[in-house]
Chain A
Amino acid sequence: MRLKAFAATLAVVGAGVVCAMLALPATVTAHHAIQAEFDTNRTEEITGVLTRFAMINPHVRWYFEETIPDAAPGAPPVLWEFTASGPGAMRDAGLARIFEPGETYHVTFAPANSGANVGRLRTLTFPNGRTVTLFHQDPTQVDVKVD
């Protein structure tokens, strides 16, 4: 009986640990919550020219000048900034130089709650169609059975 209770306890604890491992990001560094800055339930998009890609802490940052086909001559440029995760893993993976200033990219992003031209990058598509996706998993697509 005690053995069964012990086994049951182990099962519950084990399930809890597994759930915790699945639920939590590997890196637990306290910072602002993404939802505090961005509306992650919305997706917007722009096409623009990359003016700078900054490999900076705590989050990498892309700076864009939006391409507006029917812009009036002399109209001020519409500037955008997009952010994503920290620079460490991208740098270690050799991706520090893949974003070329001067190139035109299509960007989808979660917009800032403040209304500023700032977004949390979802996808960035290169001129040749290559796409970089940097966001959070769709929770409905996570391969975990929840009873």
Chain B
Amino acid sequence: MTYRLSTSMTVALALAAVAWLGVAGPTPLDAQSTPRTADGQPDLSGTWNGGRGGGGGRDYTPDEAGNISSLSAFRPCHPGQECREAVNSERDSGLEQRVAGEHYNVPLYKPEYWDRVQNLDVNGNRLDLSGHCYPRGVPRMGAPDKIMQDETSVVFLYQRMNRFRVIPTDGRPHDPVRAQDVQWDGEPSGHWEGDTLVIESVGFTNESWLGWPGYFHTFDMRVVETVRREGNTLIWQATVHDPDVLTEPWVMEPVRKQLNTDPLARLVEDPPCDEQDMEHMATRERG
């Protein structure tokens, strides 16, 4: 009896908790709250996150005397430890990117390409062109910062390097010439599957990487992006198909971005890129 009562109470409490969550918890993803265009498609347009240029969260606020002090935080030292300056900041960043979060999900290469990936990784300072002012390209550039939309296309705008992509959404076939081109963002063709915009891109350069630890790809890479809006949340995800080198398609972690509702939000010009440090590299370390 005690057991039954306990079970009943547990069930009742669980139901109450569910009901409470439904009322007082986070707003459920409600497709009805998603704005739609005149032709009934989800309205993806808007500025997604930030929109003021960003800058890594640094604070350059002057004090009363006009002095500015902006110091990057990094790992503190254990009491008694011989503590050297600036030893662990960017290295911690690199470690985090290898073992945590989105970078724990890695593309799986065929064994015959493991040495190549390792070599690219070790020599990434020199060989990763994104460190030499080249674009990151699709899919490494991630989700757009702003989207503009009409009946037959969407335009993705990216703050980083002032890049843009014009993506047809009418399901048209790939341009046969562009599909054999060597583009950093590829030749895109989009269509709607329900409320999800599906973008398939081909025609890539083989000089871009999927990620900084040496994740190369071939000319024949095919990237399928999905973009959907749930309320004021944009959910972007990409899957990389490159069967010549990967054992299976690489499904990247989804990226969620919130609509920037600031009416003054806008993208601003990203300054030119002029890499001048590489010639002075004494080691291969990256951060």
B interface, by DSSP: helix, strand, loop or mixed? loop
**Is B79's beta carbon under 8 Å from chain A?**
yes
Stretch from B32-40, B83-91, B193-201, B247-255 forming part of the interface with A: B83-91
Q: Determine whether the beta carbon of B277 is less than 8 Å from that of A137.
A: no
Which of A22, A32, A130 contacts B125 (CB under 8 A)? A32
Stretch from A4-12, A69-77, A87-95, A100-108 forming part of the interface with B: A87-95
Q: Given A83-B277, A89-B56 in contact, is the A134-B70 Cβ separation under 8 Å?
A: yes
Shortest Cβ distance from A30 into chain B, in angstroms? Answer: 4
Instruction: Please classify how large the interface on chain B is, using the bins under 10, 10 to 19, 20 to 34, 35 or more.
Output: 35 or more
Q: Determine whether the beta carbon of A20 is less than 8 Å from that of B57.
A: no
Contacts of A33 in B (CB 8 A): 90-91, 94, 283, 285-287
Contacts of B268 in A (CB 8 A): 91
Q: Determine whether the beta carbon of A37 is less than 8 Å from that of B97.
A: no
Contacts of A34 in B (CB 8 A): 86, 89-90, 287
A22-64 vs B, CB cutoff 8 Å, 1 = contact: the mask equals 1111111111111111001100000000000011111101000
Q: Determine whether the beta carbon of B77 is less than 8 Å from that of A139.
A: yes
Bound together, the chains give a CA A54 to CA B273 distance in angstroms of 10
Q: Determine whether the beta carbon of B282 is less than 8 Å from that of A92.
A: no
Contacts of A133 in B (CB 8 A): 67-71
Q: Determine whether the beta carbon of B283 is less than 8 Å from that of A35.
A: yes
**Is A97's beta carbon under 8 Å from chain B?**
no
In chain B, residues 191-245, which have Cβ atoms closer than 8 Å to a Cβ of chain A?
212
**Is A146's beta carbon under 8 Å from chain B?**
yes
Shortest Cβ distance from A62 into chain B, in angstroms? Answer: 12
Q: Determine whether the beta carbon of A89 is less than 8 Å from that of B131.
A: no
A contact residues, total (Cβ < 8 Å): 58
Bound together, the chains give a CA A68 to CA B169 distance in angstroms of 64
B287 and chain A: residue at smallest CB distance: A33
Q: Determine whether the beta carbon of B74 is less than 8 Å from that of A137.
A: yes
Contacts of B78 in A (CB 8 A): 146
A60 and chain B: residue at smallest CB distance: B271
**Is B178's beta carbon under 8 Å from chain A?**
no
Q: Determine whether the beta carbon of A56 is less than 8 Å from that of B271.
A: yes
Most buried by B among A20, A23, A112, A142: A23
A105-147 vs B, CB cutoff 8 Å, 1 = contact: the mask equals 0000010111010100000000000111111111110101010
Which of A88, A110, A132 contacts B53 (CB under 8 A)? A88
Stretch from B1-9, B19-27, B58-66 forming part of the interface with A: B58-66
Q: Given A88-B56, A135-B86 in contact, is the A30-B74 Cβ separation under 8 Å?
A: no
Q: Determine whether the beta carbon of B76 is less than 8 Å from that of A142.
A: yes
Contacts of B77 in A (CB 8 A): 139-140, 146
**Is A81's beta carbon under 8 Å from chain B?**
yes
Q: List, sorted by A's number, 9 A–B pairs whose CB atoms are closer than 8 Å.
A: A30-B287, A34-B86, A81-B276, A88-B270, A89-B58, A130-B66, A137-B73, A144-B76, A146-B78
**Which residues of B are in contact with A by a Cβ distance under 8 Å?**
52-61, 65-79, 83-94, 96-97, 100, 124-125, 128, 131, 133, 161, 212, 268, 270-287
Q: Which 10 residue pairs spanning A and B have beta carbons closest together?
A: A89-B55, A88-B55, A113-B282, A33-B285, A30-B212, A27-B56, A40-B86, A93-B60, A89-B58, A136-B86
